[in-house]
Chain A
Amino acid sequence: MPELRKTVVEIEGRLHEEYVVVDGEDLPAWPEDRVLSRVGQPLPRVDARAKVTGTARFTHDIQLPGMLHARILRSPHPHARLRRIDVSGALAVPGVLAVLTHENVPELGWPGRPLFDTVLRYQGAEVAAVVAVDEAAATDALDKISVEYEPLPFVVDLEAAVEPDAPRVYPEGNVSADEASVYVRGDTDQGFAEADVVVEANFRTAAQLHNCFETHGSVCSWDGGRLTVWDSTQHVFGVRKTLAQAFGLPMHDVRVIKQFMGGGFGSKGGTGRYTVIAALLARQTGRPVKLLLDRREENLATGHRHNTLQYIKLGARSDGTLTAIYHQVFAGVGAWGWVAPVGGPARELYRCPNVKTEEYAVCLNLGPDSAFRAPGYVEGTVALEGAMDDLAVALGMDPIELRLRNYADTNQPRNLPYSGKGLREAYRIGAELMGWHLRETTGYLPRKRTILATLGGGGNHSPEGEQPPAGPGGVEDLVCWPGTQPEDLPPHRRRGLGMASQIWGGGGGPPAHAEVRVNPDATVTVATGTQDIGTGTRTVLAQVAAEELSIPVEHVRVLLGDTEAGPYGPISAGSLTVASVGPAVRAAAADARRQLVELAASLLDAKVEELILKDGRVEVAGSPERGIALRELTARLGNFMVTGHGSRGPNPEDVAVHTFGAQFAEVEVDLETGAVEVTRIVAVHDSGRIINPLTTSSQVEGGVIQGLGFALSEERAVDPQTGRVLSADLENYRIPTALDVPIIDHVMVPGADLAANNLGAKGVGEPPIIPTAAAVANAVYDALGIRPTDLPLTRPRVLAAIKRLEEAAQAVEAGAESGKEQAGEGGTR
């Protein structure tokens, strides 16, 4: 009898309870020693040919008969009241069919904020939308809309916004202490009192813009009362639900399709305001409407990784054992949004009885934030792993030794052991590949750092406290001798090594469903409502089905990205797809296999338990002559499909499922220009069993490269005078180019996570971006002997750190001189 069970699912650092229907036992994971012939193979993507021939159809490429084009007029001001709007000029432009504004927008069940508001809280807020016969006419019409704005005081700077007298994004203030996310374990006051050494540090990280190459956009078409939407989305079922609600439609009258997508990285998880606007205009005109954002709109209004201001304090005994961690985070969410779990690494990564994290959302007159690949953990790892290196310096310990001293075998917030944790192995492999031991033996980069001085007043912004910060705190920078440098380096360059750890979820969970349809020619169709956002989902699911059915991967076609193609699939986020949908596909394939074997048993006059399905044949084990080719079997059934159903089972209750990893960075810093060159990255990650090593390696490289962008060059620049974004294009917003990529060596820690799910596999989409920036920042610290605390590590910031270093050296010199004098004076007495 099926029963309803509750299970805990972790997505992007947050726990949810989900109901799951359990009908019988889930399949056990393939054991470690099972030889798998499809799973684990580095196969090229099943949809690669479509991508290289230009036939892959993205939302941008959808063209429908009679299709109209819409454009959105957006606020040029960071904060303004809309006084008056006159659209008559726009309506007079030839080819314009309609204009929507706050004055005529129909009422909807749309759960989001008003589509067109009269108080515009960021540059890029929607003012009006035009629909016309082509894009040029729609764009011309935007210029003809006459708007009177009343500019209002604005705040775009995170540090300014927390001040009590700052201009307010909302009347109730920019920071709400009531809505802060506060976590407490043990007693941090006591923990710090027990500490022999305490280090504290401030960090700033910049707002990172997704810059999806395919901008956000939708094509909406009504057929009678039914709405079909082609949408560049990470969650077709999520968009279906919201649109049904917005338009008061039964869910079966909304279909959402996403076959190929030019990047999402977390920013395409929800339902776009542009989608609702396009659907409204399509309904109003009775014609399909395409609404694609341009590059600037993409960068103003579709989300970003929030910028942060972080204060972190660690306490440890002299042997390195952590006694307390305190981590305070202020995140610039924009006009509205959420704080990602920036405190997650501090809560989970190290064994520590006394931990407190506080995460505050700070509203700014900038576009709302959204998830961005491992939201929160990328930013939080910079602070935690930076402070750990400070602690290593203060203790005179090797950074890896310090991390191993505080190795956590359990998930402390949940008080559960980990299902599998290959972090120790990741440290070992990574250290060996990077040559970490050379820090000791070559004489450069000495293992034990000598503290030269402590500097006050640098980069201080947030003292500990329950309330938002009131001004600079008393944080001191540690400055140490950079050590002897290798002889092959010119004197104006310094080399450094750094490393950082990664923890993330990626265990997935229900609900996720799949169907496996075996056709009369023994080809197989896998149908599921998930989507392939460029990660390789189609390929991995085909491998899973082919493994279970023992057929070639080429005989499997995966249908996804369409609410009418298959049963429910979850959002493509949180590194959850392989671990959620993969097990459902395997269960569905096993169900189909069971049916095929039963059919064969009756044909072969054999018992079901005697039969095996292997390499396209069903046969009696040990007597291969008593068998039938799968294709012959299915053909005998006539034009009919054997259909297997499968779903993701509940998560294990007695363990916590997480992914782990470590990255190592080698950098060279130019003391004259402040340029940081990353010469090599070693990435070692544990995500359980790897279904496809080729697509996995692409994920790792891609994550590292986006992490390098975050570390070195990517920053939303905002003009403080006008509140306008200066880097809303790809010229001024610097994503890495092919020439910026160092050698990236990567290894997956071997082994399956047998407790995680029936594949033994965990996600790999987000883990690789998490530790990159932290490792690079720690390597720069190693190279210079002083830590630049603000990311990205652009030349001016690095030069400022070098200047402080020189000041410290001069101060020490002066101190030594006066010490000598004092000693001399003493001698005369």
Chain B
Amino acid sequence: MERRGPGPVPVRMTVNGVTYELTVPPRRTLLDALREDLGLTGAKRVCDEGTCGACTVSLDGQAVYSCLVLAVECEGRTVETVEGLIRDGELHPVQEAFIEHDAAQCGFCTPGQIMALKALLDQNPRASLEDIRQTVAGNLCRCGAYPKIIAAGLTAAGVVAARAAAKAPEDGGAGA
């Protein structure tokens, strides 16, 4: 009789503000759980081994390659995907900037690029050009949209910084 591993296990995770209970085989990646089990196909499978960044999502606020995270590791954790960025019909500044700058050509790496930049701006509302370049260095783009991705990142960083300044005027650009 062939040896068999453990069967599917239940996992509870919050994705884009909704809590789901999934039953997934232990080997299923977060990427596949999002795409196959939840129908959230924004994150893309390109290399499936942590090289390209097209599957980038936010896990507890950190940008991660979802192809390198197992779904079972996400018990009790919070995931945000590109589908969750839209708020009351309004796009996130990174999304707006991608449209304005034509930062998406074929669009396949785009959700990953956006999630990587969004995580950067969440953590550092005053991100510099170099921060942006280093952030998207982990997200490959075969169409070569890089100049416009970086330009979009800069524009979005400006919007986010302005909003942060407006929210906390007492900080007065102290870089808190």
Binding site for B on A (CB under 8 A): 44-45, 47-58, 60-61, 63, 134-136, 210-215, 260-263, 265, 294-295, 533-536, 694-695, 697-698, 701-706, 729-731, 735-739, 741, 744
Give bound CA distance, A134 to B36, whole Å: 10
Tell which of B71-79, B142-150, B166-174 binds the partner: B142-150
Please state if A53 and B148 are interface contacts (CB–CB under 8 Å): no
Please state if B105 and A534 are interface contacts (CB–CB under 8 Å): yes
Please give, as numbers and ranges, the residues of chain A lying within 8 Å of B99 by CB-CB distance. Answer: 44-45, 48-49, 52
Please state if A213 and B108 are interface contacts (CB–CB under 8 Å): yes
Give bound CA distance, A536 to B86, whole Å: 24
Please give, as numbers and ranges, the residues of chain A lying within 8 Å of B106 by CB-CB distance. Answer: 213-214, 260-263, 533-534
Contact of A703 among B42, B46, B81, B144 (CB under 8 A): B144
Please give, as numbers and ranges, the residues of chain A lying within 8 Å of B42 by CB-CB distance. Answer: 53-55
Contact of A735 among B41, B48, B142, B145 (CB under 8 A): B142
Please state if B107 and A737 are interface contacts (CB–CB under 8 Å): no
What are 23 A-to-B residue pairs whose CB atoms are below 8 Å? A44-B100, A45-B99, A51-B107, A53-B82, A54-B41, A58-B44, A61-B35, A63-B36, A136-B25, A136-B28, A213-B46, A213-B106, A214-B106, A262-B44, A263-B143, A698-B102, A702-B105, A706-B144, A729-B49, A738-B133, A738-B141, A739-B133, A744-B147
Please state if A52 and B91 are interface contacts (CB–CB under 8 Å): yes
Please state if A295 and B46 are interface contacts (CB–CB under 8 Å): yes
Please state if A698 and B142 are interface contacts (CB–CB under 8 Å): no
Please give, as numbers and ranges, the residues of chain A lying within 8 Å of B44 by CB-CB distance. Answer: 58, 60, 213-214, 262
Query: Does B126 sit within 8 A of A, measured CB to CB?
Result: no
Please state if A701 and B145 are interface contacts (CB–CB under 8 Å): yes
Please give, as numbers and ranges, the residues of chain B lying within 8 Å of A49 by CB-CB distance. Answer: 91, 99
Contact of B143 among A134, A702, A731, A744 (CB under 8 A): A702
Please state if A295 and B47 are interface contacts (CB–CB under 8 Å): yes
Query: Does B175 sit within 8 A of A, measured CB to CB?
Result: no
Secondary structure of the B side of the interface?
loop
User: How big is chain B's contact interface, by range?
Assistant: 35 or more
- What is the count of residue pairs linking A and B with beta-carbon distances less than 8 angstroms? 166
- Which of chain A's residues has its CB closest to B106's CB? A534
Tell which of B58-66, B109-117, B157-165 binds the partner: B109-117
A136-B27, A534-B143 in contact; A294/B111 too (CB < 8 A)?
A: no
Q: Ordered nearest first, which 10 A-B pairs have the shortest CB separation? A: A54-B42, A534-B106, A262-B108, A705-B144, A51-B107, A702-B144, A61-B41, A54-B82, A52-B95, A48-B99
- Residue in B27, B47, B99, B136 with the greatest tally of chain A CB atoms within 10 Å: B47
Query: Does B9 sit within 8 A of A, measured CB to CB?
Result: no
Please state if A730 and B107 are interface contacts (CB–CB under 8 Å): no
Give bound CA distance, A52 to B92, whole Å: 10
A52-B99, A739-B133 in contact; A535/B107 too (CB < 8 A)?
A: no
Please state if A738 and B137 are interface contacts (CB–CB under 8 Å): yes
Please encode chain B, from 128 to 155, with 1 for each CB lying within 8 Å of some chain A CB and 0 for all others: 0000011011011111111111100000
Please state if A60 and B136 are interface contacts (CB–CB under 8 Å): no
Query: Does B54 sit within 8 A of A, measured CB to CB?
Result: yes
Please give, as numbers and ranges, the residues of chain A lying within 8 Å of B137 by CB-CB distance. Answer: 737-739
Contact of A534 among B45, B107, B136, B139 (CB under 8 A): B107
A53-B85, A53-B95, A739-B133 in contact; A58/B108 too (CB < 8 A)?
A: yes
- Residue in B28, B109, B143 with the greatest tally of chain A CB atoms within 10 Å: B143
Give bound CA distance, A564 to B49, whole Å: 37
- Residue in B49, B104, B109, B139 with the greatest tally of chain A CB atoms within 10 Å: B104
Please state if B148 and A731 are interface contacts (CB–CB under 8 Å): no
Please state if B146 and A705 are interface contacts (CB–CB under 8 Å): yes
Please give, as numbers and ranges, the residues of chain A lying within 8 Å of B45 by CB-CB distance. Answer: 60
Please give, as numbers and ranges, the residues of chain B lying within 8 Å of A739 by CB-CB distance. Answer: 133-134, 137
Please state if B83 and A53 are interface contacts (CB–CB under 8 Å): yes
Give bound CA distance, A47 to B46, whole Å: 21
